[in-house]
Amino acid sequence: MQRCGNGLIDSEMHRSAQARLRQVLGPEPVRWLLVSVADQCLVLIEEGRASRVYGVSTATAGLNGREGSLGTPPGVHRIARRIGAGRELGTWFTSREPEGVWRPGEPAPRDDLILTRILTLQGCEEGVNRGPGCDSEGRFIYIHGTNHEDRIGEPVSQGCIRMSNTDVLNLFERVDEGDPVVIV
């Protein structure tokens, strides 16, 4: 077992996610992400091994891909877009466009900011996270930085996968568009 956020990632979860990934996309890629909602963590898998583990905050509503559910959508996704390269730490985005810079301790212009970097997610499983009524990309589900870093490790988002700003910056530099993301 390996430490993961507030919990542990066990090898059975890794194997199960790996099997689902292979079932949906074919051979295991060199690099992919595993998000454990139960453990509130994201694991970067490279060459079949966990290379980095990050704490995250997923949805208060748990795993649910249905439109309007405010849940974090399950299953296999791909990183569709990487947004924010070269932007300052704490840059906040509205509709995926930079709007300003927020610094910890300053009042936030809104309660829930999308900060630093955005990795947009595109579902790969029709009827689970892709298509009418359950489309992750259409729901604007992202991996992104947050102004609620003190809540990392708790399920408090409205569907997205929140990370600390330094962690999302680190992850952003390690992944590419098209890399798979398995959410369990």
- The string of pLDDT tens digits covering residues 12-71 is 888 899 999 999 999 999 999 999 999 999 999 999 899 999 999 999 999 999 999 999
- In this predicted structure, the answer to whether residue 154 has a pLDDT above a threshold of 80 is yes
Q: Please name which of 136, 120, 125, 17 lies closest in space to residue 65, comparing C-alpha atoms.
A: 136
pLDDT at 36: 96
Domain count, the chain: 1
Distances in Å between the alpha carbon of 177 and those of 31, 82, 132, 154, 180? 11, 6, 23, 27, 9
- In this predicted structure, the answer to whether residue 9 has a pLDDT above a threshold of 80 is no
SS (H, E, C) 55-101: ECECECCCECCCCCCCCECCEEEEEEEEECCCCCCCEEEECCEEEEE
Reported as a pLDDT band with limits 50, 70 and 90, residue 2 is very low
- In this predicted structure, the answer to whether residue 6 has a pLDDT above a threshold of 50 is no
Question: Is residue 62 a contact partner of residue 159, using CB atoms and an 8 Å limit?
Answer: no
Domain range holding 33?
2-183
Helix or strand or coil: residue 123? strand
- Spatial CB neighbours of 27, under 8 Å, sequence gap ≥ 6: none
Calpha distance 132→72 (Å, rounded): 16
> Where residue 31 sits, what CATH number does that domain have?
2.40.440.10
Q: Please name which of 140, 135, 139, 125 lies closest in space to residue 184, comparing C-alpha atoms.
A: 125
Q: What is the mean pLDDT of residues 112-127?
A: 97
- Report pLDDT digits (tens) over 125-150: 999 999 999 999 999 999 999 999 99
What percent of the chain is modeled with pLDDT above 70?
95
Reported as a pLDDT band with limits 50, 70 and 90, residue 4 is low
Calpha distance 79→6 (Å, rounded): 25
pLDDT at 104: 85
Tokens for 177, please give them. 């568009």
Distances in Å between the alpha carbon of 163 and those of 35, 47, 154? 12, 23, 11
pLDDT at 161: 98
What is the average pLDDT score of the chain?
93
